[in-house]
């Protein structure tokens, strides 16, 4: 039961590969035509709605500047010290409990899922 994910530029590319290997449909902003580093958050939000993807980010702009109606959903990791392995384990744990279609709005998440 994988998620459809868009990883923000502040998330390591390695996480994309590991999430995809674990059964998630994961894209990194760097590899999406028309997006890339420096793409405004509003465009990422729009892309997430158009493609039914959950944004994975450490960027608090999704908390402070965008309303939850602007994007499909966001997994916001407040702790930037979370390793790639921990991030993948957290997403896997969430996916085991909540199907993709039940993830909505802003979800602040972290090590509590480990």
Instruction: Please say whether the dihedral angle defined by the alpha carbons of residues 47, 53, 56 and 60, taken in this order, is positive or negative.
Output: positive
CB 113 within 8 A of CB 94: yes
- pLDDT of 1 > 80? The answer is no
Sheet holding 73-77, edge to edge: 25-28, 4-7, 54-57, 73-77, 105-109
Read off the pTM: 0.94
Question: What pLDDT does 88 receive?
Answer: 98
| Half-sphere exposure (Cβ direction) of 6: Cα atoms closer than 13 Å | 27
C-alpha to C-alpha distance for 33 and 75, rounded to whole angstroms: 22
- Taking only the tens place, the pLDDT of each residue in 51-103 is 999 999 998 888 788 888 899 999 999 999 999 999 999 999 999 999 999 99
* Nearest one of 113, 104, 84 to 10, comparing CA atoms: 84
* Nearest one of 94, 88, 95 to 13, comparing CA atoms: 88
């Amino acid at each position: 039961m994988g998620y459809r994910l868009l990883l923000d530029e502040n998330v390591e590319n390695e996480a994309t590969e590991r999430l995809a290997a674990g059964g998630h449909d994961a894209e990194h902003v760097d590899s999406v035509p028309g997006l890339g580093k420096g793409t405004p958050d509003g465009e990422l939000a729009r892309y997430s709605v158009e493609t039914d993807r959950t944004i994975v980010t450490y960027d608090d702009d999704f908390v402070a500047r965008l309303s939850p109606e602007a994007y499909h959903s966001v997994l916001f990791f407040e702790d930037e010290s979370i390793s790639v392995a921990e991030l993948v384990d957290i997403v896997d744990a969430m996916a085991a409990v909540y199907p993709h279609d039940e993830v909505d709005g802003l979800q602040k998440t972290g090590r509590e899922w480990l």
